[in-house]
Structure 1
Amino acid sequence: MELDIKEIQKRLPHRYPMLLVDRVLELVPRERVIAIKNVSINEPFFEGHFPHMPVMPGVLIIEALAQAAALFSFPEVSGSDDAGQDTAYYLVGVDEARFRRPVVPGDQLRLEVEAERISRVMCKYRGKALVDGQVVAEAKLMCAIRSLSD
Protein backbone atom coordinates (compact mmCIF):
# COMPACT_ATOMS: atom_id res chain seq x y z
CA MET A 1 0.00 0.00 0.00
CA GLU A 2 1.23 3.52 -0.84
CA LEU A 3 -0.01 6.77 0.69
CA ASP A 4 0.14 10.31 -0.64
CA ILE A 5 0.17 13.39 1.58
CA LYS A 6 -3.64 13.57 1.75
CA GLU A 7 -3.84 10.01 3.07
CA ILE A 8 -1.01 10.69 5.53
CA GLN A 9 -2.88 13.73 6.88
CA LYS A 10 -5.96 11.58 7.42
CA ARG A 11 -3.91 9.28 9.66
CA LEU A 12 -1.64 11.73 11.52
CA PRO A 13 -2.69 14.83 13.48
CA HIS A 14 0.59 16.64 12.68
CA ARG A 15 0.63 19.65 10.38
CA TYR A 16 3.27 22.12 9.21
CA PRO A 17 5.87 22.55 10.56
CA MET A 18 5.71 19.25 12.49
CA LEU A 19 4.49 16.84 9.80
CA LEU A 20 7.70 15.04 8.84
CA VAL A 21 6.43 12.38 6.41
CA ASP A 22 5.78 13.37 2.79
CA ARG A 23 4.94 10.05 1.16
CA VAL A 24 4.64 6.35 1.97
CA LEU A 25 6.18 3.96 -0.53
CA GLU A 26 5.22 0.74 1.24
CA LEU A 27 2.95 0.02 4.19
CA VAL A 28 2.08 -3.33 5.73
CA PRO A 29 -0.33 -2.62 8.61
CA ARG A 30 1.08 -3.52 12.04
CA GLU A 31 4.34 -4.79 10.46
CA ARG A 32 6.44 -2.21 8.59
CA VAL A 33 6.54 1.02 6.62
CA ILE A 34 8.88 2.71 4.18
CA ALA A 35 8.28 6.44 3.92
CA ILE A 36 9.95 9.55 2.51
CA LYS A 37 10.77 12.95 4.02
CA ASN A 38 12.11 15.47 1.52
CA VAL A 39 14.47 17.84 3.32
CA SER A 40 14.23 21.41 1.98
CA ILE A 41 16.17 24.55 2.87
CA ASN A 42 12.72 26.05 3.58
CA GLU A 43 12.34 23.94 6.76
CA PRO A 44 11.86 26.37 9.68
CA PHE A 45 14.50 24.68 11.86
CA PHE A 46 17.31 25.50 9.41
CA GLU A 47 17.05 29.18 10.30
CA GLY A 48 18.63 28.46 13.66
CA HIS A 49 20.25 25.02 13.22
CA PHE A 50 22.67 26.23 11.90
CA PRO A 51 22.57 29.41 9.79
CA HIS A 52 26.14 28.96 8.54
CA MET A 53 25.80 25.18 7.92
CA PRO A 54 22.20 23.90 7.95
CA VAL A 55 21.80 20.47 9.57
CA MET A 56 18.51 18.68 10.34
CA PRO A 57 18.30 18.13 14.11
CA GLY A 58 18.67 14.47 15.06
CA VAL A 59 15.63 14.67 17.32
CA LEU A 60 13.51 15.54 14.25
CA ILE A 61 14.85 12.53 12.37
CA ILE A 62 13.72 10.40 15.33
CA GLU A 63 10.34 12.18 15.28
CA ALA A 64 10.00 11.41 11.55
CA LEU A 65 10.63 7.72 12.29
CA ALA A 66 7.99 7.79 15.05
CA GLN A 67 5.46 9.45 12.74
CA ALA A 68 6.13 6.82 10.08
CA ALA A 69 5.60 4.11 12.72
CA ALA A 70 2.25 5.62 13.71
CA LEU A 71 1.03 5.22 10.14
CA PHE A 72 1.04 1.41 10.30
CA SER A 73 0.39 0.72 13.97
CA PHE A 74 -3.36 0.98 14.27
CA PRO A 75 -5.89 -1.64 13.20
CA GLU A 76 -8.16 1.13 11.85
CA VAL A 77 -5.76 2.08 9.05
CA SER A 78 -8.79 2.36 6.82
CA GLY A 79 -8.23 5.86 5.55
CA SER A 80 -11.53 7.13 6.88
CA ASP A 81 -11.52 10.80 7.84
CA ASP A 82 -12.14 9.96 11.51
CA ALA A 83 -9.54 7.18 11.86
CA GLY A 84 -7.64 7.61 15.10
CA GLN A 85 -9.57 10.75 16.12
CA ASP A 86 -10.13 9.42 19.66
CA THR A 87 -6.58 8.12 20.08
CA ALA A 88 -3.32 9.83 21.02
CA TYR A 89 0.01 8.32 20.06
CA TYR A 90 3.01 9.42 22.13
CA LEU A 91 6.72 8.79 21.68
CA VAL A 92 7.75 7.63 25.17
CA GLY A 93 11.18 6.06 24.66
CA VAL A 94 14.21 6.14 22.42
CA ASP A 95 17.02 3.61 22.85
CA GLU A 96 20.24 2.94 21.02
CA ALA A 97 19.93 6.08 18.89
CA ARG A 98 22.89 6.59 16.59
CA PHE A 99 23.50 9.40 14.12
CA ARG A 100 25.94 8.47 11.37
CA ARG A 101 26.14 11.65 9.31
CA PRO A 102 24.43 15.04 9.01
CA VAL A 103 21.21 15.42 7.03
CA VAL A 104 21.25 18.61 4.97
CA PRO A 105 18.95 20.49 2.59
CA GLY A 106 18.42 18.56 -0.62
CA ASP A 107 18.61 15.16 1.08
CA GLN A 108 15.72 12.74 0.85
CA LEU A 109 15.26 10.71 4.02
CA ARG A 110 14.06 7.18 3.49
CA LEU A 111 12.36 6.14 6.73
CA GLU A 112 12.25 2.38 7.32
CA VAL A 113 10.46 1.17 10.43
CA GLU A 114 9.62 -2.38 11.52
CA ALA A 115 7.40 -3.38 14.42
CA GLU A 116 8.98 -5.44 17.16
CA ARG A 117 5.82 -5.53 19.26
CA ILE A 118 2.43 -3.84 18.96
CA SER A 119 -0.27 -4.04 21.61
CA ARG A 120 -3.34 -1.93 22.35
CA VAL A 121 -1.37 0.38 24.65
CA MET A 122 2.35 0.08 23.83
CA CYS A 123 4.39 -0.37 20.66
CA LYS A 124 8.08 -1.06 20.08
CA TYR A 125 9.89 -0.50 16.80
CA ARG A 126 13.28 -0.59 15.16
CA GLY A 127 13.80 2.26 12.71
CA LYS A 128 16.45 3.61 10.44
CA ALA A 129 16.74 6.67 8.22
CA LEU A 130 18.77 6.50 5.02
CA VAL A 131 20.02 9.02 2.48
CA ASP A 132 21.23 7.69 -0.87
CA GLY A 133 21.23 4.14 0.52
CA GLN A 134 23.43 5.01 3.51
CA VAL A 135 22.14 4.85 7.09
CA VAL A 136 22.20 8.34 8.62
CA ALA A 137 20.32 7.50 11.83
CA GLU A 138 18.84 4.51 13.61
CA ALA A 139 17.06 3.86 16.90
CA LYS A 140 14.69 1.66 18.84
CA LEU A 141 11.46 3.51 19.57
CA MET A 142 8.69 2.97 22.09
CA CYS A 143 5.30 4.62 21.73
CA ALA A 144 2.21 4.66 23.94
CA ILE A 145 -1.34 4.62 22.62
CA ARG A 146 -3.88 6.41 24.80
CA SER A 147 -7.58 7.06 24.45
CA LEU A 148 -8.43 10.76 24.45
CA SER A 149 -11.64 9.97 26.35
CA ASP A 150 -9.67 8.79 29.42
Structure 2
Amino acid sequence: MLGCENAWIAAGSLMVSIKNEGSIKIADSQIDEALNRTRRQAIGGYCGLTGVCGIAPAIGACFSIILGAACPKDRETSITMKVVGKIVNVIADETGPCCCKNFVRTALAEAIKLTDQYLNVQLPISDEIPLCTHVERHPHGCRKDKCRYYTV
Protein backbone atom coordinates (compact mmCIF):
# COMPACT_ATOMS: atom_id res chain seq x y z
CA MET A 1 0.00 0.00 0.00
CA LEU A 2 2.74 2.41 1.03
CA GLY A 3 6.40 2.17 0.14
CA CYS A 4 9.21 3.03 -2.20
CA GLU A 5 8.38 0.23 -4.61
CA ASN A 6 5.78 2.70 -5.90
CA ALA A 7 8.60 4.99 -7.03
CA TRP A 8 10.17 2.10 -8.94
CA ILE A 9 6.81 1.41 -10.57
CA ALA A 10 6.61 5.04 -11.66
CA ALA A 11 10.15 5.13 -13.09
CA GLY A 12 9.89 1.77 -14.82
CA SER A 13 6.44 2.48 -16.23
CA LEU A 14 7.44 5.85 -17.64
CA MET A 15 10.68 4.62 -19.19
CA VAL A 16 9.08 1.54 -20.77
CA SER A 17 6.16 3.63 -22.07
CA ILE A 18 8.54 6.06 -23.74
CA LYS A 19 10.57 3.16 -25.13
CA ASN A 20 7.44 1.48 -26.50
CA GLU A 21 6.18 4.72 -28.06
CA GLY A 22 9.34 4.69 -30.18
CA SER A 23 10.12 8.36 -30.86
CA ILE A 24 13.10 8.24 -28.51
CA LYS A 25 15.45 5.27 -28.37
CA ILE A 26 15.58 3.95 -24.81
CA ALA A 27 18.03 1.17 -24.01
CA ASP A 28 17.40 -1.39 -21.28
CA SER A 29 20.51 -0.04 -19.56
CA GLN A 30 18.81 3.36 -19.31
CA ILE A 31 15.77 1.78 -17.68
CA ASP A 32 18.09 0.03 -15.22
CA GLU A 33 19.82 3.35 -14.54
CA ALA A 34 16.47 5.06 -13.82
CA LEU A 35 15.63 2.31 -11.34
CA ASN A 36 19.06 2.53 -9.70
CA ARG A 37 18.82 6.30 -9.34
CA THR A 38 15.34 5.92 -7.90
CA ARG A 39 16.53 3.33 -5.38
CA ARG A 40 19.13 5.81 -4.10
CA GLN A 41 16.59 8.59 -3.55
CA ALA A 42 13.30 6.87 -2.76
CA ILE A 43 13.75 6.12 0.92
CA GLY A 44 10.84 5.12 3.13
CA GLY A 45 9.36 7.90 5.23
CA TYR A 46 11.22 10.71 3.51
CA CYS A 47 8.00 12.14 2.15
CA GLY A 48 7.13 13.23 5.67
CA LEU A 49 10.69 13.90 6.82
CA THR A 50 11.95 15.93 3.85
CA GLY A 51 8.84 16.82 1.89
CA VAL A 52 9.90 14.88 -1.18
CA CYS A 53 8.03 11.73 -2.16
CA GLY A 54 10.35 9.25 -3.88
CA ILE A 55 8.11 9.26 -6.94
CA ALA A 56 9.25 12.82 -7.77
CA PRO A 57 12.96 11.93 -8.10
CA ALA A 58 11.91 8.74 -9.91
CA ILE A 59 10.20 10.77 -12.65
CA GLY A 60 13.11 13.22 -12.54
CA ALA A 61 15.59 10.39 -13.07
CA CYS A 62 13.74 9.40 -16.23
CA PHE A 63 13.91 12.90 -17.68
CA SER A 64 17.52 13.33 -16.55
CA ILE A 65 18.62 10.16 -18.32
CA ILE A 66 16.70 10.90 -21.51
CA LEU A 67 17.88 14.51 -21.66
CA GLY A 68 21.43 13.81 -20.46
CA ALA A 69 21.09 16.30 -17.61
CA ALA A 70 24.15 17.01 -15.47
CA CYS A 71 25.42 19.81 -13.25
CA PRO A 72 27.38 21.60 -15.99
CA LYS A 73 24.46 21.51 -18.44
CA ASP A 74 21.84 24.22 -18.77
CA ARG A 75 18.57 23.37 -20.52
CA GLU A 76 18.66 19.64 -19.74
CA THR A 77 19.09 20.20 -16.01
CA SER A 78 16.59 23.05 -15.93
CA ILE A 79 13.91 20.92 -17.60
CA THR A 80 14.58 18.02 -15.25
CA MET A 81 14.24 20.28 -12.21
CA LYS A 82 11.05 21.85 -13.57
CA VAL A 83 9.61 18.37 -14.11
CA VAL A 84 10.44 17.32 -10.54
CA GLY A 85 8.92 20.54 -9.21
CA LYS A 86 5.68 19.90 -11.12
CA ILE A 87 5.54 16.31 -9.87
CA VAL A 88 6.09 17.41 -6.25
CA ASN A 89 3.27 19.93 -6.63
CA VAL A 90 0.71 17.50 -8.06
CA ILE A 91 1.57 14.96 -5.37
CA ALA A 92 1.29 17.63 -2.65
CA ASP A 93 -2.27 18.30 -3.77
CA GLU A 94 -3.11 14.65 -3.02
CA THR A 95 -1.84 14.39 0.57
CA GLY A 96 -3.72 14.08 3.81
CA PRO A 97 -2.93 11.24 4.50
CA CYS A 98 -0.34 10.16 1.95
CA CYS A 99 -1.27 7.37 -0.45
CA CYS A 100 1.48 6.02 -2.70
CA LYS A 101 -1.01 4.38 -5.06
CA ASN A 102 -2.66 7.75 -5.63
CA PHE A 103 0.74 9.41 -5.98
CA VAL A 104 1.88 6.99 -8.71
CA ARG A 105 -1.29 7.49 -10.73
CA THR A 106 -1.27 11.26 -10.29
CA ALA A 107 2.46 11.61 -11.02
CA LEU A 108 2.28 9.47 -14.16
CA ALA A 109 -0.69 11.44 -15.47
CA GLU A 110 1.33 14.64 -15.03
CA ALA A 111 4.48 13.01 -16.46
CA ILE A 112 2.54 12.15 -19.63
CA LYS A 113 1.79 15.86 -20.10
CA LEU A 114 5.44 16.71 -19.44
CA THR A 115 6.77 14.13 -21.93
CA ASP A 116 4.67 15.84 -24.57
CA GLN A 117 5.78 19.32 -23.50
CA TYR A 118 9.51 18.66 -23.09
CA LEU A 119 10.27 15.52 -25.11
CA ASN A 120 7.66 15.79 -27.88
CA VAL A 121 6.50 12.29 -26.99
CA GLN A 122 2.76 11.72 -26.91
CA LEU A 123 1.87 8.86 -24.58
CA PRO A 124 -1.69 7.57 -24.41
CA ILE A 125 -3.78 8.15 -21.34
CA SER A 126 -7.28 6.92 -20.74
CA ASP A 127 -10.09 9.34 -20.06
CA GLU A 128 -11.48 6.77 -17.65
CA ILE A 129 -9.97 7.03 -14.20
CA PRO A 130 -9.50 3.55 -12.70
CA LEU A 131 -11.06 3.44 -9.27
CA CYS A 132 -9.09 2.29 -6.25
CA THR A 133 -9.85 -1.07 -4.72
CA HIS A 134 -7.47 -0.71 -1.77
CA VAL A 135 -9.44 1.61 0.54
CA GLU A 136 -9.54 -0.81 3.45
CA ARG A 137 -5.83 -1.65 3.18
CA HIS A 138 -4.57 1.88 3.84
CA PRO A 139 -2.78 1.88 7.22
CA HIS A 140 -3.33 5.61 7.84
CA GLY A 141 -6.88 5.76 6.60
CA CYS A 142 -8.04 6.53 3.09
CA ARG A 143 -8.82 10.12 2.03
CA LYS A 144 -12.02 8.69 0.55
CA ASP A 145 -14.09 11.34 -1.24
CA LYS A 146 -11.12 13.74 -1.30
CA CYS A 147 -9.35 11.26 -3.64
CA ARG A 148 -10.14 11.20 -7.35
CA TYR A 149 -9.63 7.41 -7.39
CA TYR A 150 -12.02 6.64 -4.53
CA THR A 151 -15.07 4.52 -5.13
CA VAL A 152 -18.08 4.37 -2.86
**TM-score in terms of structure 2 length:** 0.27
Q: Is the helix fraction higher in 1 or 2?
A: 2
**TM-score in terms of structure 1 length:** 0.27
